[in-house]
Each structure stands twice: as structure tokens, then as C-alpha cells.
């Protein structure tokens, strides 16, 4: 294929903007037909102009009136957002995070017509267990960065060589650095199949999958699909709510009588959450209407912070100078990634594509391990986990940690995985 001067300049510019290495798809297309199965190195770099535009937009924010309550019942407080904006504009350093990302082995490959970007870190230890770590919304690969080294290099973190994992962390289609689907059909089932293909493409004959939020739903679906090589899953947001409980809550009837104490607590958590789920309802019905999230970084940040009450409380404390698992940089690394990749709408469409109840039983028969964190959307009782997962190999009820377990409590999360997956090694 012959390229004129303009074509050569355009191709080079596209390679730089997209962050692909010289082995990327555009370079292959110049030399002949691209290999869609190729696994290509991936790097991240955004221009000074893009960062300057972000800074300008933060400073130009048009603020709403202050809320009329003294708590979070009307959403993210104005004071929290103004503290976030002040730090984002004056002190936050994206380049520091960009360098951190680029120090980690990252790749991209095309699966089912869509580019899937992923982190892939192999352990130096023999017989490491491959594990697929799956994020959700409003998360990203950022959620999992703190656990990579303890999982792959356990002897440096109080573990044994036999605790080692090879770690694979993909960005979901429409999220982060993965491709943005331009046609319908990329729901949890298709993502689950793509992830199975990814692990096979990486050459893994046996592996486990782990997830929270969307990742938990996809882990359950993968376990139902049983792709080649998947031997079990670990979840910190299990699909284990009995149908009668879910129906009662969604019908506005509250929790039925006769529940054990831990079941009643879980039911009350769910009842509270379902009354605060407006963000999911609008993404599930009218994602394109959220255009403002692609135009205002502060609007995007406020929407992302209001996922659940406990997470909002934790994040608000961080911007009040009381970090308790998440720092200001942790929060802004994730929000800035969404902004720079312009994925507020493409990520929201997954809610529109999804046809599954979030917490329903899916019919998983493979071995399952459950870690029940107290500040998760609900802390699954063991009785529910046993009913939902007939091959439950591990259950632990923790006394610390919330929805973004790997991000908030990486040490606990790593210990849980070591214990939970041990029976499958």
C-alpha cells in the first residue's frame, strides 16, 4: 500500500495519539494485513494541550447552590466537590500516574471486533496461578493496581512462593483504554466470552476469575459459560440474593419476616441501596442523555462519586484530610482516566445493554469463593452464598472494607485471594 506525505503524517500522528507501540495495528496495516489476534504493547500519553484543557474546564466550573441538608441525602455536598476541584486544579499530577501506568506491562488485542486493553504481569515464581481481575463502574484498572505486586511477588509481602499469581486486568469495552463499541450487543455475556478468549489467547490452560461490581456479574456469567480453562471464581459482590427477597424489596414491601440476623442486615442494606440507585436507572434507560458528563469534568466527578453511600462517605473524608483507604490521588487518578479517555457515555451504555438483575442467582456450578465485606452494597450471609453457589469452596465475613475492596483494602483483599484460591491450586 502506497502512502502520500499526508497519509504518512496522519498515520504517525494516529499512532502517537492512540499510544500504540511500533508493533501496533496501524503499523501492521501499513506493512500489510493486520493480525487481529496479535497482542500488542500499549503505552499511555496525553498531550499537554489535553491536560491544559482539563485544567481550564475545572477552573471555569459553574457551581450550583449549596444543598439544603447537613448530610449526603441530596447527593455529593458542594463543599466536597469544591475541595476536589481545588486539589485537581492546583496539586494533582496526571503525569505521575501516567508514568506509573507505563511502568506496568500493558497490552491490547482485538477480540470479537473490539480492542481490549489489559495489564498482564507474570510472576517470577513457578506454578503461579493465573487470575483474571475484573473491575466495574465507576471503576477501572486503577482499582486493581495496588494488588498487582503483592499477588505476583508474594514473598515480598509476607506470603509464600505457592501464593503467587499471574495477573491479567482488562479494561472493559467502553471503559478506559479499551475500544468503544459503536454497535449494540456488548453486554455482560459478550464481555464474559471475550475475557475467556483473552485468557486462552494468553496461553493459560487453567485460571481463576475474580470480580467486584460489573466484574462480579461477569465472573458469575463466565462460570455459567464455563470457557476453556476456567476452574473457579472469587467474588466480593456475589449474585446470591434469594428471589423472594429481591422481589419483596423491588416491590417496595421491605424485608420479609423470619430472617436470621445476618440475613435481615443484608436485606436492609439492599433495601437502602435500591432507593439510592438513580444513577443506574438513568444509565440503564437514557445513557446518551448524560452528555454533560463528557463536557464538564466536575459534573463527571460528582456523578462518579455518588455510587453508594459508604463509598461517598469514604471519599468525602479523603478530601477533608482524613484518608481511610482511598487518597485524593486515588480518586482523581480514576476520574481523570475517565475524562481523558472520554468514556462517560460509552461506559454508561453497559447499564443499557445489561439484562440481568445485579444480585440475582445465576446458576453457577463451578467452584466459587466469596469474601463478604461489611460496607459492600450488601454483606452476603453465608446461608445465601451456600444456596446460590452449590460448590462454595470458601466464605469469609470480614469486618472492614467496602465496594471497591481491592482499591480500599488491598492487604485484606490479597490475603483473601490467597486463602480463597488455595483449594484450586
Q: What is the CATH number of the domain that holds 280?
A: 3.40.50.1820
Whether residue 104 is contained in a domain is answered as yes
Residues in contact with 247: Cβ distance below 8 Å, sequence separation at least 6, in sequence order: none
- Asked if 178 and 114 touch (Cβ cutoff 8 Å), the reply is yes
Which residue positions in the chain have pLDDT lower than 70?
1-34
pLDDT, tens digit (0-9, with 9 covering 90-100), for 148-164: 999 999 999 999 999 99
Whether residue 226 is contained in a domain is answered as yes
* 105 closest CA partner among 177, 40, 46, 159: 40
Whether residue 315 is contained in a domain is answered as yes
| Element containing residue 220 per DSSP (H, E) | helix 214-225
Integer distance in angstroms from the first to the last C-alpha of the chain?
50
The number of domains in the chain is 1
| Pairwise CA distance, residues 385 & 25, whole Å | 44
pLDDT given at position 34: 58
| Pairwise CA distance, residues 323 & 328, whole Å | 8
* 140 closest CA partner among 118, 113, 114, 109: 118
- Asked if 388 and 233 touch (Cβ cutoff 8 Å), the reply is no
pLDDT given at position 147: 98
Whether residue 376 is contained in a domain is answered as yes
What are the two backbone dihedrals, phi and then psi, of residue 422, each rounded to the nearest 5 degrees? -55, -40
Whether residue 196 is contained in a domain is answered as yes
DSSP 8-state assignment for residue 178: S
| Pairwise CA distance, residues 299 & 290, whole Å | 10
* 14 closest CA partner among 30, 36, 35, 33: 30
- In terms of phi and psi (left: phi > 0; alpha: psi -120 to 50; beta: otherwise), the region of 226 is left
| Candidate list 135, 234, 307, 403, residue with the active-site label | 403
Q: Give the Cβ contact number of residue 31 at 10 Å.
A: 8
pLDDT, tens digit (0-9, with 9 covering 90-100), for 310-366: 999 999 999 999 888 999 999 999 999 999 999 999 999 999 999 999 999 999 999
Whether residue 3 is contained in a domain is answered as no
Q: Which residues pair with 20 in a beta bridge?
A: 42
Q: Is 213 a catalytic residue?
A: yes
User: Residue 365: helix, strand or coil by DSSP?
Assistant: coil
The burial class, CB within 10 Å (0-12 / 13-18 / 19+), for 169 is buried
- Based on its alpha-carbon atoms, the radius of gyration of the chain, rounded to whole angstroms, reads 22
Query: Which pTM does this prediction carry?
Result: 0.91
| Candidate list 204, 351, 394, 395, residue with the active-site label | 351
Give 17's Cβ-side CA count (13 Å radius).
11
For residue 83, give its domain range. Answer: 48-240+276-424
Whether residue 307 is contained in a domain is answered as yes
| Element containing residue 250 per DSSP (H, E) | helix 243-250
Q: Which three cell numbers stand for residue 109?
A: 488485542
Q: Is 125 a catalytic residue?
A: no
Distance of CA 13 to the CA centre of its chain: 30
| Candidate list 166, 189, 213, 220, residue with the active-site label | 213
| Pairwise CA distance, residues 397 & 370, whole Å | 9
- Asked if 364 and 209 touch (Cβ cutoff 8 Å), the reply is no
Whether residue 11 is contained in a domain is answered as no
| Pairwise CA distance, residues 151 & 162, whole Å | 11
Amino acid at each position: 500500500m502506497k502512502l502520500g506525505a499526508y497519509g504518512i503524517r496522519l498515520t504517525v500522528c494516529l499512532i502517537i495519539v492512540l499510544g500504540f507501540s511500533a508493533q501496533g495495528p496501524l503499523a501492521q496495516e501499513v506493512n500489510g494485513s493486520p493480525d487481529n489476534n496479535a497482542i500488542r504493547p500499549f503505552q499511555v500519553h496525553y498531550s499537554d494541550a489535553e491536560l491544559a484543557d482539563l485544567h481550564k474546564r475545572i477552573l471555569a466550573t459553574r457551581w450550583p447552590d449549596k444543598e439544603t441538608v447537613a448530610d449526603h441525602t441530596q447527593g455529593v455536598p458542594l463543599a466536597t466537590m469544591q475541595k476536589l476541584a481545588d486539589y485537581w486544579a492546583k496539586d494533582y499530577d496526571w503525569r505521575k500516574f501516567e508514568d506509573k501506568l507505563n511502568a506496568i506491562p500493558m497490552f491490547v488485542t482485538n477480540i470479537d471486533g473490539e480492542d481490549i486493553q489489559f495489564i498482564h504481569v507474570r510472576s517470577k515464581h513457578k506454578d503461579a496461578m493465573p487470575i483474571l481481575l475484573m473491575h466495574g463502574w465507576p471503576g477501572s484498572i486503577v482499582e486493581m493496581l495496588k494488588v498487582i505486586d503483592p499477588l505476583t511477588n508474594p514473598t515480598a509481602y509476607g506470603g509464600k512462593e505457592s501464593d503467587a499469581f499471574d495477573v491479567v486486568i482488562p479494561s472493559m469495552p467502553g471503559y478506559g483504554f479499551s475500544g468503544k463499541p459503536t454497535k449494540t450487543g456488548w453486554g455482560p455475556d459478550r464481555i464474559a466470552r471475550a475475557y475467556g478468549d483473552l485468557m486462552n489467547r494468553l496461553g493459560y490452560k487453567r485460571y481463576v476469575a475474580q470480580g467486584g461490581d460489573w466484574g462480579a456479574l461477569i465472573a458469575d456469567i463466565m462460570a455459567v459459560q464455563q470457557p476453556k480453562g476456567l476452574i473457579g471464581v472469587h467474588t466480593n459482590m456475589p449474585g446470591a440474593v434469594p428471589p423472594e427477597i429481591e422481589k419483596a424489596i423491588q416491590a417496595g414491601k421491605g424485608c420479609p419476616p423470619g430472617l436470621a440476623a445476618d440475613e435481615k442486615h443484608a436485606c436492609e442494606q439492599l433495601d437502602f441501596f435500591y432507593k439510592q440507585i438513580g444513577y443506574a436507572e438513568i444509565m440503564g434507560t437514557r445513557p446518551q442523555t448524560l452528555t454533560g458528563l463528557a463536557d464538564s469534568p466536575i459534573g463527571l466527578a460528582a456523578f462518579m462519586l455518588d455510587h453508594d453511600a459508604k463509598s461517598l462517605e469514604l471519599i468525602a473524608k479523603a478530601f477533608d484530610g482524613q484518608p481511610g483507604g482511598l487518597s485524593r490521588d486515588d480518586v482523581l487518578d480514576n476520574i481523570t482516566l475517565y475524562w481523558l479517555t472520554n468514556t462517560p457515555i460509552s461506559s454508561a451504555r453497559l447499564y443499557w445493554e445489561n439484562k440481568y438483575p445485579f444480585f440475582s442467582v445465576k446458576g453457577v456450578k463451578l467452584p466459587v469463593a466469596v469474601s463478604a465485606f461489611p460496607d459492600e452494597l450488601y454483606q452476603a450471609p453465608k446461608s445465601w452464598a451456600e444456596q446460590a453457589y452449590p460448590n462454595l469452596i470458601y466464605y469469609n465475613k470480614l469486618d472492614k472494607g467496602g465496594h471497591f475492596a481491592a482499591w480500599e483494602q488491598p492487604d485484606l483483599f490479597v490475603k483473601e485471594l490467597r486463602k480463597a484460591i488455595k483449594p484450586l491450586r
